[in-house]
Amino acid sequence: MKIAYLANGKAALLLMFVATSLNVACATETKSAPGKSAQLTQAYTWYDGNRAQQVWLNPQVVAEFEPGPQGEHSVKRAGAAARMLATKHPQSGIRLWQMSNNAEAAIGSLKASHPQGKYSAVLHDGPSSGGRMRALPGNIIVYLDPQWDEAAIHRWLTKHKLEVVKKLEIGTNVYVIKTGPGLEALDIANALYRSGEVKAAFPDWWQEVTTR
């Protein structure tokens, strides 16, 4: 009976050790697991046709478009602890950087050190960093009055000092208009829509690929 008691005692101790080890491992994994959502507070409005939509700024993520070695070097200079983020569905032509400092301040530094680079704030479709991401690589899409002829369109472009990138064949008088990357594109689109001179104006968004 004594031998059986010792064996059972050893088994119990072993089970306790395994359970404790598993709990520690789980706790460590939860603490370091990527993708943990954070609440976002700074909202921006954009107009999908005549519908006002809101997006929320991620204060610590920067999108880099058409990335290259110089871009990575500049990002590291803007924040030595910057690290590249992996997305669930990789998309070409973009890198996402997690900054240790404020993303807006980092973009200001990037524009100064690498003016050829294309950097944007990252925004989310909801007030959480777990929401779908979108960013602004530059350019906006504008729906002009379908009754305007070429002369009227030219006058409007000249008035606002705007440049056409291309005409879209998805309606009458729909154009991609040139802007810089980042929140500048959102500001220009909103100003044009609120002027009442266009039918619609919104950024040519980059959007994260998601699965339903």
Indicate which CATH number applies to the domain containing 183: 3.30.70
Same domain, 130 and 165: no
User: Residue 136: left (phi > 0), alpha (psi -120 to 50), or beta?
Assistant: beta
Same domain, 121 and 163: no
**For all residues of the chain together, what is the average pLDDT?**
82
130 in a structural domain: yes
Calpha distance 175→39 (Å, rounded)? 36
Residue 209 has pLDDT above 80, yes or no: yes
What pLDDT does residue 22 have? 37
Same domain, 191 and 124: no
Which residue range forms the structural domain that includes residue 56?
Answer: 43-135
76 in a structural domain: yes
28 in a structural domain: no
Query: What residue type is assigned to position 177 of the chain?
Result: I
Residue 136 has pLDDT above 90, yes or no: yes
What pLDDT does residue 58 have? 95
- Provide mean pLDDT across the span 52-63: 94
Of residues 101, 102, 137, 100, the one with CA closest to residue 120: 137
| pTM, 2 dp | 0.78
Instruction: Give the number of other Cβ atoms within 10 Å of residue 81's Cβ.
Output: 9
Same domain, 83 and 146: no
pLDDT tens digits, residue range 79-106? 778 888 887 777 889 999 888 878 888 8
Of residues 152, 140, 143, 138, the one with CA closest to residue 196: 143
Same domain, 115 and 179: no
Same domain, 88 and 160: no
Instruction: Give the number of other Cβ atoms within 10 Å of residue 205's Cβ.
Output: 17
Q: Which of 113, 135, 157 is the last residue of a domain?
A: 135
Same domain, 124 and 49: yes
Q: How many domains does the chain have?
A: 2
Same domain, 57 and 113: yes
